[in-house]
């Protein structure tokens, strides 16, 4: 049976509608680290239950690929690993325990709905998006199929200060009061990417910004080219429209970059 790609946010998964269609394949972006300066490895944990040979539909899988930093700054790099583990395992005691919990949830689902002709699974795949002496950005792609009409998926970015191990927030790298001017910069880029010529309302395309007013997601990544913002399915648009992303070049952010911040290097 084809691997079933999955999403780790269990609370969201439990809310998926219980229909019987097979999961769809999702194409994941391949992100190659730019300048590798922090040593890390990819660790893998996988679990499987049921009859997973051939085209069976009663296969349960749970697979995680996560980043483990092995750099020469023990305190900072241990902090990064701790943050990654927390984000990956959710409320479970360990990452492996979170997968065990998912497997139990899946078996309980099949006991309750024995006639559902579909598999059940979870996949988390992390990759390094940016690696410099001061910044480590990790992209975490998640996909899950739990018996609904389709799987749920999403991408979350984690930007770390490589010297302290702390997560980087927009207020750490942009000046106070950045929100309004950043939105003014971002909206034309979003419109260019997702609105056709002559369109003025987001609802014409299917977006459901409140009162048709653009808002900028807080899910961002520091890249070599600029700040990348990504909206996940259902955040501002139906599942069918997929993910939306924009990149704001650093040349557009000159007036907003906080002095002496980690963003100055770009």
Looking at the structure, do residues 160 and 188 belong to the same domain, yes or no?
no
Ramachandran angles phi, psi of 202, nearest 5°: -65, -30
Answer yes or no: are the C-beta atoms of 65 and 59 closer than 8 Å. Answer: no
Looking at the structure, do residues 31 and 158 belong to the same domain, yes or no?
yes
pLDDT digits (tens, 9 = 90+) for 70-126: 877 889 999 999 999 999 999 999 999 999 999 999 999 888 888 877 788 999 999
Looking at the structure, do residues 150 and 209 belong to the same domain, yes or no?
no
Q: Which domain holds residue 217?
A: 169-266
Ramachandran angles phi, psi of 60, nearest 5°: -120, 125
Residue 184 makes CB contacts below 8 A (sequence gap 6+) with none
Looking at the structure, do residues 60 and 30 belong to the same domain, yes or no?
yes
Give the predicted TM-score (pTM) of the model: 0.83
Looking at the structure, do residues 27 and 141 belong to the same domain, yes or no?
yes
pLDDT digits (tens, 9 = 90+) for 206-215: 999 999 999 9
Residue 143 has pLDDT above 50, yes or no: yes
Residue 108 CB coordination number (10 Å): 10
The total number of structural domains in the chain stands at 2
pLDDT digits (tens, 9 = 90+) for 247-260: 999 999 999 999 99
Answer yes or no: are the C-beta atoms of 44 and 65 closer than 8 Å. Answer: yes
Looking at the structure, do residues 164 and 174 belong to the same domain, yes or no?
no
Among 168, 194, 209, give the residue marking a domain's end: 168
Looking at the structure, do residues 153 and 184 belong to the same domain, yes or no?
no
Among 168, 201, 227, give the residue marking a domain's end: 168
pLDDT of 72: 76
Q: Are strands 244-249 and 226-231 parallel, antiparallel or unpaired?
A: antiparallel
* Count of residues in the chain: 266
């Amino acid at each position: 049976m084809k691997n079933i790609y999955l999403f780790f946010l269990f609370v969201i998964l439990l809310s998926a509608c219980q229909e019987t269609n097979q999961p769809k394949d999702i194409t994941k972006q391949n992100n190659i680290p730019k300048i590798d300066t922090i040593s890390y490895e990819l660790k893998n944990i996988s679990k499987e239950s049921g009859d997973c040979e051939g085209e069976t539909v009663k296969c349960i899988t749970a697979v995680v690929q996560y980043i483990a930093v092995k750099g020469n700054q023990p305190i900072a790099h241990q902090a990064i690993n701790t943050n990654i583990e927390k984000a990956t395992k959710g409320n479970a005691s360990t990452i492996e325990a979170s997968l065990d919990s998912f497997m139990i949830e899946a078996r309980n689902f099949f006991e309750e709905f024995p006639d559902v002709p579909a598999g059940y699974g979870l996949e988390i795949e992390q990759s390094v998006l940016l690696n410099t002496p001061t910044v480590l950005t990790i992209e975490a792609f998640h996909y899950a199929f739990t018996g609904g009409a389709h799987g749920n998926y999403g991408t979350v970015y984690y930007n770390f200060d490589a010297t302290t191990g702390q997560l980087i927030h927009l207020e750490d790298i942009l000046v106070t009061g950045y929100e309004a001017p950043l939105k003014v910069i971002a909206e034309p880029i979003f419109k260019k990417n997702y609105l056709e010529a002559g369109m003025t309302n987001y609802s014409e395309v299917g977006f459901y910004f409140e009162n048709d007013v653009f808002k900028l997601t807080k899910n961002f990544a520091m890249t070599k080219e600029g700040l990348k913002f990504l909206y996940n399915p259902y955040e501002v648009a139906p599942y069918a429209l997929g993910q939306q992303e924009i990149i704001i070049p650093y040349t557009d952010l000159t007036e907003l970059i906080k002095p002496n911040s980690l963003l100055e290097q770009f």
